[in-house]
Amino acid sequence: MIPFFDEAAVAEVLGWDPLIDAMEAALAAFSRGEVKQPVRNVIPIEEHRRFLGIMPAAAEWAMGLKLVTFYPANAGTGVPTHNAMILLFRPDTGEPLAVMDGRLITEMRTAAVSAVAARRLAPPDSRVLALIGSGVQAAAHLKALRRVRPQLQEVRVWSRTPAHAHRFAEAYGAAAMDAESAVRGADIVLTATSSQVPILKGVWLRPGAFVAAVGSPRPTWRELDDEVMASALVVDSREAVLKESGDVILSGATIHAELGEVLAGLRPPPPPGTTTVFKSVGIAVEDIAAARLVLDLRTRAVAPE
C-alpha cells in the first residue's frame, strides 16, 4: 500500500527549523542545475478566479509532482484559496513512495523560503515587520520570519478588508493600520495578496528594507510599483518569474540573482544596506523537498526502537 498523509499527519511532523533548512538546500541545488524542473503549467479555469497548476520536479534525492488549485475567489469563504496534492516517487526506480495533502506544505514552504531569503538578505537587526495582507500567508510568514529574526518586536498589518486586519491583529498581537503607516519605518515588509494593481509604493520604504513579495502570481497582476521594483531584485527562479510575475514582467526590472545562486556562492548578495526585494512565485522543487522531508520524518516516527 502506498501511504497517504493527510494534513493532520503532515502537521504532526513538519516544523519550521528543519523546513527552512530544507528549503535552503533545495534552492541552492536548483540554482546549481541539479534539479530538472519545467516552469509550472497554469491552466486558467476562469480568469481571475480559478486556476489549476501542474508542478513536477526531479533530482537525485527526490522526485514528484504537485497539483495545486488557486481559487482567489475563495477568500473569506472558509474554503482555502490554495488546495494541493503531492505525489512522491523513487528517483532511481520510479516507484511511487507516498501521496500527501499539499495545502499545509504549500503554506509553510512559501513562508520558509521567504525566511531563507530574510536570513541572508534582511537587516540583521530587523525589529519591525509590516504585513500587507492578513490571510494564511501573513500568519505563516510571521511564524517563519521569527525563526530567523527572533528580535522582531513590532508587527503591523494591513488588509483590503479592515475587519480582517483587526482580527489578525487580535490573534497575533499586531497593530492594524493603513498600508502606508504599516510600511514606513519597517525593516521587513511582506506582501501576500491577490492584487491586480500595485499596493506597495517604493516611496514608503525605508532605505535598506527587505521586501518579501509572494502574492499576485499572474503575469498581469501586481503588488509592487515600479519604484519598489527598482530595488535590488532577488528571485526564486529567473525563468519562472519572467513567465508568471507581473511585478517583474511589467516593470522590466533587472534581476540581480536567484536566491539559490546567492546561497550556493554563485552570485554575491546585494551589498549591506541595499533595499532588496525577494520575489517568489513558488517552484516545484520546494514542494518536493518539503514532501520528502515529511516522508522521512513520518518514517522515522514509526520506526521501531
pLDDT digits (tens, 9 = 90+) for 16-65: 999 999 999 999 999 999 999 999 999 999 987 899 999 999 999 999 99
The Cα–Cα gap between 241 and 235 comes to 7
115 found inside a domain:
no
Query: Do 137 and 161 share a domain, yes or no?
Result: yes
Q: How far apart are CA 286 and CA 105, in angstroms?
A: 9
What CA–CA distance (Å, rounded) separates 241 from 260?
14
Instruction: Say how many domains are in the chain.
Output: 2
> Is 112 inside any structural domain?
no
List the beta strands (DSSP E) in the chain: 4-5, 41-46, 50-58, 63-70, 82-89, 96-101, 128-132, 154-158, 175-176, 188-191, 210-213, 232-235, 257-258, 276-279
Task: Give the pLDDT confidence of 130-146 residue by residue, as tens digits.
Answer: 999 999 999 999 999 99
- Tell me which residue range forms the domain holding 243: 120-282
* DSSP H or E run through 24: helix 16-31
Residue 51: CATH number of its domain: 3.30.1780.10
Judge whether 111 lies within some domain: no
Q: Is residue 72 part of a domain?
A: yes
Question: Residue 86 in 3-state DSSP?
Answer: strand
The answer, yes or no, to whether residue 177 has pLDDT greater than 80, is yes
> Do 278 and 290 share a domain, yes or no?
no
76 plus 145 within the same structural domain = no
Claim to verify: residue 144 and residue 227 sit in the same structural domain: yes
Q: Is residue 303's pLDDT more than 70?
A: no
- What are the tens digits of pLDDT across the range 151-161? 999 999 999 99
2 burial (CB, 10 Å; 0-12 / 13-18 / 19+) is: exposed
Residue with cell 473569506: 76
Residues 91 and 129 in one domain: no
The pLDDT of residue 302 is above 80: no
pLDDT classification of 72: cutoffs 50, 70, 90: confident
Instruction: Give this prediction's pTM.
Output: 0.94
Question: Does some domain include residue 170?
Answer: yes
pLDDT of residue 75: 80
130 and 258 inside one domain: yes
Query: Is the domain of 157 the same as that of 258?
Result: yes
Domain shared by 142 and 166, yes or no: yes
Asked if residue 265 and residue 132 are part of one domain, the reply reads yes
Question: Is position 113 within any domain?
Answer: no
Based on the domain organization, do 174 and 85 belong to the same domain?
no
- CB neighbour list of residue 167: distance below 8 Å, 6 or more residues apart: 134
CATH of the domain at 169: 3.40.50.720
Q: What would the pLDDT profile of 91-149 be if each residue is shown by its tens digit?
A: 999 999 999 999 999 999 999 999 999 999 999 999 999 999 999 999 999 999 999 99
The number of C-alpha atoms within 13 Å of 7 and in the hemisphere containing its C-beta is: 10
Specify burial of residue 28 (Cβ count, 10 A radius: 0-12, 13-18, 19+). buried
Please check whether residues 277 and 290 belong to one and the same domain. Answer: no
Domain annotation covers residue 110: no
Specify the pLDDT at position 17: 98
For the cut 70, the answer to whether the pLDDT of residue 13 exceeds it is yes
43 forms bridges with which residues in the sheet?
52
The verdict on 241 and 291 lying in the same domain is no
Average pLDDT, the chain: 96
Q: Is residue 80 part of a domain?
A: yes
